Amino acid sequence: MHTVVVGTSGTTAADVLAVARGGARIELSGEAVAALAKARGIIDALAAEPTPVYGVSTGFGALATRHISPELRAQLQRNIVRSHAAGMGPRVEREVVRALMFLRLKTVCSGHTGVRPEVAQTMADLLNAGITPVVHEYGSLGCSGDLAPLSHCALTLMGEGDAEGVDGVVRPAAELLAEHGIAPVELREKEGLALLNGTDGMLGMLIMALADLDTLYKSADVTAALSLEALLGTDKVLAPELHAIRPHPGQGASAANMLAVLEGSELTGHHQDGAPRVQDAYSVRCAPQVAGAGRDTMAHARLVAERELASAVDNPVVLPDGRVESNGNFHGAPVAYVLDFLAIAVADLGSIAERRTDRLLDKNRSHGLPPFLADDAGVDSGLMIAQYTQAALVSELKRLAVPASADSIPSSAMQEDHVSMGWSAARKLRTAVDNLARIIAVELYAATRAIELREGLTPAPASQAVIDAVRAAGVEGPGPDRFLAPDLAAADAFVRSGRVLSAVEPVTGPLR
């Protein structure tokens, strides 16, 4: 099994995906253990002094004015975890919780939090045992980090609350820890606070969304090319020299992908023969511009994710010179903004894909295709309602594109009077990404059927490879009406699994 070694720095997005989705094992480096011990020594020294230090010998948030006596500090740390584990609503997905836990461990191992080495090791042991705390949908304002979600994880570390075992059954955390020989953690000064104070949930969801969108954007280039081909459109607008004079990198990459898919097609440009068109519609002609803008948005979001991965987010933090200082680095604004930005780009990509699908189904705009791609229009409805479903998904994407990060609700008796709502931005982006896969699947279903209805004209070899793979996956081709939902579900699974790319890239080479 793949192993991820956690040091004081250098954690990558690939590491996060390996742990969250791939079940990779975790080891702590010697460097990380030494840094943990050094920072803990500083916290222990401060705890022994009479001068109050936030998070070490005081209360939290609006209650930070109270100095806590030594005999009550262990109780203080337990209480912050218990009281902050106040989430409600549906359970959050296992992969999100694993990403959340791993990213908090990454920051703990930086040596800036003051957590003991044995606490970090227990965090790694939980992940390695496949124990997943029950975390709920609601409870984070994205400032001071993802408090409630992280608290539910810390609660499991203490042997309290509920968690899911490797068998998928939710049980008391104490039972699961005992089965795996993991001793519950007895928290000491600062440790409860250090386990709760980070942007780990929103960052983990950003990293996973970027991985999914990398596949979906390439797949969307393929389906856009198939639609252009099915509509007898021209591929001249994809010429590299046209995109070189507007040098947005994503646009050039998207156009190059489409051109690679269409190479060798007998369908492109045939509209000039019998029904001249000076230009194709925007949804066809401007596909690289829209998809390309989304790609460039992803590039910016990836840069933000890399910076956040390189960060040690906690409050207070232990600095290299031994100072322990309060700060505002837990504010989720940098991550929240790009999560919302991605939701906008996703909504627009879904919208332009739906417009191409609608064009394929409209006999007045499809240049010779049967109405709704039906076998016997009137008796058969064809893909009429598949487009309805796609339109409903697009409408939902537009609602999800409303930015969460533009909102703020004061909390903690006005101490935390401006919050990022980054967790909410991440949660709605996950829904948007899921819906985008479904939208691309409907376009794929329509475009492959439309190409097969163009009898006498041979599609591009790459297009034919996609059609063959889709049919082999159980997505049926043209014919009389049938129960459509299973076909759409199969197309969705085909897109989501990356099989669009595995079908086309042996012909085109790797897409960009």
The catalytic residue positions are 54
Q: Where are any strands of DSSP class E within 106-243?
A: 132-133, 136-138, 162-164, 170-172
Ramachandran sector of residue 55 (left: φ over 0; alpha: ψ -120 to 50; beta: rest): left
Nearest-angstrom CA–CA distance, 461 and 220: 18
> Which residue, among 218, 16, 4, has the nearest Cα to 98 in the 3D structure?
16
3-state secondary structure at position 183: coil
Give the number of other Cβ atoms within 10 Å of residue 482's Cβ. Answer: 11
Q: In angstroms, rounded to a whole number, what is the distance separating the alpha carbons of residues 381 and 361?
A: 10
Distance from C-alpha of 227 to C-alpha of 243, rounded to nearest angstrom: 20
How many Å apart are CA 288 and CA 268, to the nearest integer?
A: 17
- Distance CA(253)–CA(257), nearest Å, equals 6
Residues 6+ apart with CB under 8 A from 213: 294, 298, 342, 346, 433, 436
Its sign, for the CA torsion 493, 495, 499, 504, is positive
Best CA proximity match to 357, nearest among 449, 262, 472, 495: 449
Alpha carbon distances (Å) from 227 to 108, 233, 277, 355: 49, 8, 16, 10
Q: How many CA atoms lie within 13 A of 130 on its CB side?
A: 10
